[in-house]
Chains A and B, each alone.
Chain A
Amino acid sequence: METKEKIQSDLLQFLSRQFFVDIEDIQIDKSLIDTGIIDSMGLIEIASYIKKTHGFVVSNEQMNRDNFGSVLKLVDFIYKTKS
């Protein structure tokens, strides 16, 4: 089982590459949309990343602010779903 730290560093790597942003510029406790890192299509891209990297499909019900509201929330969501 991957640690939360590993899930987080992989996710940040992906965000940095996919959305052309320095990792240092990503505020991990803030909404990625509100801080301008991604737009609404970015949510689809993250869901696709989760499917590919962590092997599970994000349902429409799961795609909400509790799970997708920040990097920290995403990491928690991925960790919980996998364990």
Chain B
Amino acid sequence: MHNNIKNVKRCTKCILSANFPRIKFDEKGVCNFCNNELLHSTEQEDITSATLEVQKLFDDKRGKSEYDAIVCYSGGKDSTYTLKLAVEKYKLNILSFTLDNGFISPVAFKNIEKVVTALGVDHITYRPSYEFMKGLYRVSSLENIYNPKTLTRISSNCNSCISIINITSLKIALEKRIPFILAGFTLGQIPSNTIYYQNNYEFFKESRKPILDKFKSEIGPEVSRYMEISEDLLKSSESFPHNINLLCMEDITENEILEKIKPLGWIKPGDVDGCSTNCRINSFNNYVHTLKFGYSPYELELSHLIRKNLLSREEALEKLFDQPEDQINYAKSELKLDENQILKNKVV
């Protein structure tokens, strides 16, 4: 796998590879994303308007509920900085929430403890049963569950995990009438026109039904508990919270983020891959994605950081190639999966 991702032809400016959907290279080897033919047409405009709107939303709702916002806190560097911004820059009363997917690095857990203590926020951890999480990852690795469009930015396994985080945080927000859900996504991970938006569970539910049905038939009815919201809760909710990604409105390099969170006691875990700072199944997720699609789920995000001069091309490649074999093998054995099984549903 390492040889595959190392030898593939890539854009000479960013790191998008020849296997990336819709990619074209000009005579200099520069891709059509760098040449501004796709995406990013109005990014700065989006950031400027989001910054204004978000400030207005916060000013309007601050101090009116048990908590102003719930922060989806993975313990990684980006959500750590998001939590810090929420408390210190935006002066919000925060409930921090971690989904324990069974693969969080022990160092990340220590980081969570140190950071929520240093920032003085309330915190809850929710851990679905390990058997369920393993089943979810198995199915997400083996079956083609998601729209390929979704998977240009994220691996199937990460997307499943994030679905549970989204649903769980929305449930908590509805139950406690919390007006905002904050997450640590960066531009590149999400498009600039989704920096903030109001949740619309009813319509999402309809569009996600085929995905949910697939999970239910593969895993069982317990999927409902983790990936659906009860009609009772929906009926009793007058309004839906806004989802906001604070980091998208900050112009900051990774090193600057690391500097800012160091005083909170945050330490980089040693048992994760180059693209994660908290999760030990991430390298396996990247491995599955690369096997199936021929490109890494981090290419779009890292390339975006390069274009914004927040990361050098060399640093990006280093992250992309840093996929520890022992991590991949650990997940393979926990999930009882091998390469041949995964390749059965190869997409390219």
A-B complex is real: yes
Q: Is B206 an interface residue (CB 8 A)?
A: yes
The contact string, 1 if C-beta is below 8 Å from chain A, for chain B 147-158, is 111101000000
Q: Which 7 A-B pairs have the closest CB atoms?
A: A48-B193, A20-B22, A40-B207, A39-B150, A39-B147, A44-B197, A40-B204
A52→B198 contact, CB < 8 A: no
Please measure, in the bound complex, the distance between the C-alpha atom of A26 and the C-alpha atom of B230, giving whole angstroms.
35
Cβ–Cβ < 8 Å partners of A48 in chain B: 46, 193-194, 197
**Known: A17-B41, A36-B148, A48-B193. Is A60-B207 also a contact (CB below 8 A)?**
no
One of B49, B147, B190, B207 near A43 (C-beta < 8 A): B207
Q: Is B39 an interface residue (CB 8 A)?
A: yes
Cβ–Cβ < 8 Å partners of B37 in chain A: 17
A12 CB to nearest B CB, Å: 14
Please measure, in the bound complex, the distance between the C-alpha atom of A43 and the C-alpha atom of B46, giving whole angstroms.
16
Most buried by B among A18, A41, A63: A41
Closest to A60 in B: B200
B38→A17 contact, CB < 8 A: yes
Number of interface residues of B (CB under 8 A): 30
One of B42, B194, B207 near A33 (C-beta < 8 A): B207
Residues from 25 to 83 in A contacting B, C-beta threshold 8 Å: 33, 36-45, 47-49, 52, 60, 63-65, 68
Please measure, in the bound complex, the distance between the C-alpha atom of A60 and the C-alpha atom of B22, giving whole angstroms.
32
Cβ–Cβ < 8 Å partners of A23 in chain B: none
B39→A36 contact, CB < 8 A: no
Please measure, in the bound complex, the distance between the C-alpha atom of A59 and the C-alpha atom of B194, giving whole angstroms.
15
Please measure, in the bound complex, the distance between the C-alpha atom of A13 and the C-alpha atom of B20, giving whole angstroms.
21
A75 CB to nearest B CB, Å: 19
Q: Can you pick out 25 interface pairs between chain A and chain B where the beta carbons lie within 8 Å of each other?
A: A17-B38, A17-B39, A18-B38, A18-B191, A18-B193, A19-B149, A20-B38, A20-B152, A33-B147, A37-B149, A38-B147, A39-B207, A41-B194, A42-B149, A43-B200, A44-B193, A44-B200, A45-B194, A47-B197, A48-B194, A52-B46, A52-B49, A52-B193, A65-B206, A68-B203
